[in-house]
Amino acid sequence: MAAVKMLDGKVAVITGAASGMGLATAEAFVEHGARVVLADIQDERGAAAAARLGDSAHFVRTDVTSAAEVEALVGAAVDAFGRLDVMFSNAGAAVDLSPIEELTPAGLDRTLALNLRAHVAAHKYAARQFRLQGTPGSIITTGSVAALQAGWNGAAYSMAKAAVLALVRQTAMENRGTGIRSNAILPGAVLTSIITDMFGVAREREDEFLTGIGERIGGETLIGRAGRAGDIAGAALFLASELSAWITGVALPVDGGSTAVTKDATVALITDFAAEFHAAS
């Protein structure tokens, strides 16, 4: 157990919490004294994760593209634990990787539904609950370095993540003086199933694929290794805690230094490795 519990007594909701960065954050939050509602559409994995975390965790199946389900999720957290202190709007995926010339309205809408509208709903209903309680609160959103630099992902995803920056800043401004904060984490190349899904790799080969990606790109970051889910969990823990009480409207890159340099080869290395991986299969 953590010697100092940074979230002692707090209640948090984490979307996309059944795996990857969301699950790592749920584990960190519980370790630091929080009670956590895990939300995901992966029913079995989400329920198993909550059961493993014990009485401090509760799973609610939630499709975050439905504003009504996000509203119900906030209500479920209050019903389960009596209040809400932290909303980590983390769920997301590339959805449509088409270049702009091939992007359809339907593909754009599907991508925006998950990577922008879902975050809007999380902000809306979390802020409402904080105001109803008359308490401060922290809203954290998983953005992406794709909001800062082209080439990290498809056009629709990049546009959605850029809009997240405006959402965070607008929410921070609209809640001035209330203690309600909104900040974003911008992950770089983090070794999770999101990368596996982007390149169509079967789940039974996920570990092999991610290990190869990590070996290929590690030396390209300023830190000297690829990102891990725990790196994002650490940033979320900071932004959820009182250590960041005077921080709002901020977008924090957690990318091993990738966006600090003019040119980064990480995405090209991942793409090249994926092609080689499939060719050798």
Residues belonging to the active site? 157
CA dist 167 and 3 (Å) reads 35
Q: Report CA Rg, the chain.
A: 18
Amino acid at 31: E
* 3-state SS track over 91-153: CCCCCCCCCHHHCCHHHHHHHHHHHHHHHHHHHHHHHHHHHHHCCCEEEEEECCHHHCCCCCC
Strand 180-187 versus strand 137-142 pairing type: parallel
Contact 128, 84 (CB under 8 A): no
Contact 254, 183 (CB under 8 A): no
Q: Which residues pair with 140 in a beta bridge?
A: 88, 183
CA dist 162 and 120 (Å) reads 13
From the list 110, 99, 119, 90, the residue with the least C-alpha distance to 186 is: 90
